[in-house]
Amino acid sequence: MKILHLYKLYTPSDVSKIIQRKEEDIITLLEENKAEGRKFGNFWYIRGSEVIKIQKLLKEKNVSTISHDLQKEEEKKTKE
């Protein structure tokens, strides 16, 4: 595991290596949530202190999508 420095700037590819998530998931989260990360031109830069927040947001988003998918499956079963 990489050492996380709080004031260093990271790219989404660096963050994906640190938190073991796909780079695309991180970029979509940054696009949705403008409060985290900074965009300069076409590139995202994330401060080390924001990496932990991003990890929590991705975990919450993953849990909510899983529960939403389970609800859809239950609705299909009840309709049949």
pTM: 0.69
Is 30 a domain residue?
yes
- Two tokens at 73? 């499956």
Within 13 A of 66's CA, how many CA atoms are on the CB side? Answer: 6
- Domain holding 59, by residue range, is 9-79
Is 4 a domain residue?
no
Tens digit of pLDDT for each residue in 9-44? 999 999 888 888 888 888 888 888 877 788 888 888
Is 27 a domain residue?
yes
Q: What CATH number should be reported for the domain holding residue 33?
A: 1.10.10
CA distance 44 to 9: 10
**Total count of domains within the chain:** 1
Is 1 a domain residue?
no
Is 2 a domain residue?
no
Asked whether 25 and 14 are in contact (CB, 8 A), the reply is no
